[in-house]
Amino acid sequence: MAQQFNTQAVHAGEERRKPYGAVTTPIVQTSTYTFTNTAEILDFMRGKEAEEPGLHYEYGRYSNPTQTAAEHKLAELEGAERALLFGSGMAAITTTLLARLSVGDHLIMVSDCYHRTREFAMMFLSRWGIDTSLVPIDQPQLLQDAIQPNTRLIFAETPTNPYLRVMDLERMVEIARQHKIATMVDSTFATPVNLKPLELGVDLVMHSASKYLGGHNDLLAGVVTGSHFALAQIEQARGVMGGISSPNDAYLLLRGLKTLELRVHQQNESARHIATALEAHPRIQRVYYPGLSSHPDHQVALRLMTGFGGVVSFEVDGDFDATARFIDRLRLPYIGPTLGGVESIVQQPAALYSLRRSERAAAGLKDNLVRYAVGVEDANDLLADLEQALADG
């Protein structure tokens, strides 16, 4: 019988009987692994060549028992054959792109992607003879028109940061398959609780596991999931480039994943409640949240997602300085650049992007935009705090 998500989150990927009878998977804190004799080494090498490795490990840059358990759990939750864990979300993205693309290839990337992802494609991949085309998230015809004979990959992010645009993944996959092009999605904001891109035909799904998957703002990790075939080349590149996750972070990730659905459901509900209230507030100009009918991608989100996430972006009345003062008056959320943890975190994206107004405008970041990443605090407390900060303006 198929298990429900919460049950998988607690039990999947981990051995039933763990060392020493422990309930939790232990942290195997070692960089290297020893062999009893040469015969054991040869057995290990034969298993590697046959792509049937046993329980023995070789060196920490390739794999680790704690990391393996986290990978197995992540694969189960995403509905994938395999998962590969990395030291950060960007390590997952950059390693995958370098593994999948070669000199002369062409990449299509949704223009709303995380700015560091775009920066890697436009500034680094271009040095190595890989061209990138940026396309709007909501215009399939432009995506179709951007395809070239040497296009090898379409990369999308959904929902996006900070405007929470939602890609029509079904249409993207349809276009990609017509041209035999692979697809990859950054699903960090959605999590496997709210969206399963692999079930929609996407080839590779990645997450910054530092966010919702870890859930406690205490680890750095990234993950790529997909089929055994799709991940084989990426795993080889990870072993060469060394972007592996540490055993400690893998352990923290295992712990965080056990409460993923509980946290995300609460964050979904709290964010919806806050977004609805803010949309009616006289000092709020606009709210960006896929669960609202006013959002440009609401219908797509309704069709593809089971929840709309824990991030609410909105524009307040006033300029850069007035927006900064509003944020400073908030008492519950921390001010910072991340999201997805149990603590609410707020930011003024323009302030963290650039000191130059022209650069902020070029990036599409309005000075009065606020991104509010809802934690697991009581939604009414968070809303009351927002209202007092708005009233004091």
User: Does residue 138 carry a catalytic annotation?
Assistant: no
State which amino acid sits at residue 343: E
Q: For residue 267, what are the contacts with CB-CB under 8 A and spacing of at least 6? A: 212, 309, 310, 374, 375, 376
Phi, psi of 16 (to 5 degrees): -65, -45
SS3 316: strand
Which of the residues 114, 212, 251, 288 is marked catalytic? 114
Q: Which pair of tokens denotes residue 50?
A: 């046959």
User: Does residue 57 carry a catalytic annotation?
Assistant: no
Which of the residues 168, 186, 203, 249 is marked catalytic? 186
User: Does residue 186 carry a catalytic annotation?
Assistant: yes
- Strands 345-347, 334-335: parallel, antiparallel or unpaired by DSSP? parallel
332 vs 22: CA distance, rounded Å: 37
Which of the residues 211, 263, 366, 371 is marked catalytic? 211
47 vs 11: CA distance, rounded Å: 27
Are 290 and 305 a contacting pair, CB within 8 Å?
yes
> Tokens 């606009």 belong to which residue?
286
User: Does residue 114 carry a catalytic annotation?
Assistant: yes
DSSP assignment, residue 253? H
> Tokens 């929609």 belong to which residue?
200
Which of the residues 48, 61, 283, 286 is marked catalytic? 61
Which residues are identified as catalytic? 61, 114, 186, 211
